[in-house]
Amino acid sequence: MKHLLTTQGLSKDDAILLLDTSAQMAATQSRENKKLPTLRGRTVVNLFYEDSTRTRISFETAAKRLSADVINFSAKGSSVSKGESLKDTALTLHAMGADAVVVRHSASGAAHQLAHAGWLDAGVLNAGDGMHQHPTQALLDAFTIRRHLVGRVGDDGRGVDTSVGADLAGLRIAIVGDVLHSRVARSNVYLLHTLGAEVTLVAPPTLVPVGVETWPCRVSYHLDETLEQWQPDAVMMLRVQRERMSGGSGSFFPSPMEYSRKFGFDARRLAVLPDHAIVMHPGPMNRGLEISAAAADHPRSVIVEQVANGVAVRMAALYLLLSGDDSTNTQQTSTST
C-alpha cells in the first residue's frame, strides 16, 4: 500500500489488514509506555487546508506514538494565503524530505492529485477531500463497529480483541442525515459493503446526491420506518454541513426544527432499536439538530470511543504505508516497546 486515498476499491484483504493492525496498535495504547520506535527517522507532514480537530490531532498523536517527526502545516498563516499553489507546496514538502503527507483539502480529488501528479515521493493519506472521501474516518468507524458488535474487549479496552480477522457480514448499519455533503457517508458505504455489512442511507430527498443509485446501499427517506422495521445494529448520524449549503444557512430543508423532527436522533428513536445497537457520529456534532444531547451522551453512544480509536487506526495506516505490510513487520510492531 503506497497511499490511502479512498475506500472505494480498497480490497477486503487490505481492509481487514488495516483493522487487524489497528487492533494491534490499540493494544499498545493501553499500556504505560505507549510509544513505539517503528517510524523513528521518518517525517510525517500534516497538510491541512480545511479546519479539523479530531483528524489533525489524532494523526499527529499517531505519528508521534510511532516516533516519527511531525510537521504541522495549516493553510492559514502559510504562503497559501499569498497564493501559493498545491503543486508548489508539494514541491516544498518534497524538498524537506517528507515521507508521508496527510492532506485535508476542500477540493474533491486533491489527495489523488498530490499522490499521482509526480510532485512528491511520499505516501499520501487522504484526511478528507471536499465531499469525496475520508477513508481513515470510515476505517475507525468500521473498527469501532467490529469491536462492539462482532468481538469483545474488556471494559477498560484491555484484553483480547476477539473480532480480529472478522468482517462485518450480517450487520445492518443506518447512515442518517446530510449524505449529499458527506465524505464520511461515501467512505463508509463502500468500506462497510466491502466488509459484508448492509447499509441504508436515510436522508431528505434534497440531501441525497445524484447517482446514489450506483452506490452499494439502499436509500430511505423515512427515519422512523427504517429504525422500526429494519432494526439496524448501528445508527451513524451525520453532521448537517450548513457551511457547504448554498448561502451557508441550511436552506436545503424547511427549518432546523423540521429537520430535527424528521431526521434527528433522540432518546425516543434510540428506544426502538435492538438492545445491542450502538449510536455513532463522526463529529463535530450539531447537538440539538441531528442528534440530541440525551442520545449523544447515552451509554450506547460510542462517539467518544470513535475518537479514541482514530489514533490506533491512523497509527496502523501510517505504519502500513511507511513500513510495508508484510507479516514480519507487523509482528515487530506488536512486540516493540
State the minimum distance, in angstroms, from the CB of residue 175 to ligand CP.
14
- Show the binding pattern over residues 258-297: x = contacts ligand CP (CB under 6 A), - = does not: ------------------------xxx-------------
Q: Tell me: does residue 53 bind ligand CP (CB under 6 A).
A: yes
The annotation status of 137 as a binding-site residue, yes or no, is yes
**Nearer residue to ligand CP within complex by CB, 165 or 284:** 284
**Nearer residue to ligand CP within complex by CB, 53 or 106:** 53
**Nearer residue to ligand CP within complex by CB, 128 or 333:** 128
Q: How many residues bind ligand CP (CB under 6 A)?
A: 9
Q: Tell me: does residue 244 bind ligand CP (CB under 6 A).
A: no
State the minimum distance, in angstroms, from the CB of residue 301 to ligand CP.
15
Q: What contacts 151, CB < 8 A, 6 or more positions away?
A: 161, 162, 163, 164, 166
Nearest-5° Cα angle at 150, 28 to 214: 110
CA-to-CA distance for 114 and 118, rounded, in angstroms? Answer: 8
Report the half-sphere exposure of 230 (CA within 13 A, side-chain side).
Answer: 25
Q: Which of 6, 24, 29, 55 binds ligand CP (CB under 6 A)?
A: 55
**Nearer residue to ligand CP within complex by CB, 128 or 135:** 128
> CB under 6 A: which stretch of 51-59, 61-69, 195-203, 317-325 binds ligand CP?
51-59
Contact 7, 133 (CB under 8 A): yes
Q: Which of 43, 137, 182, 187 binds ligand CP (CB under 6 A)?
A: 137
Q: Binding site for carbamoyl phosphate, residues? A: 54-55, 104, 134, 137, 283-284
Q: Binding site for L-aspartate, residues? A: 82, 183, 239
Residues at the interface with ligand CP (CB under 6 A): 52-55, 128, 137, 282-284
Q: Binding site, residues? A: 54-55, 82, 104, 134, 137, 183, 239, 283-284
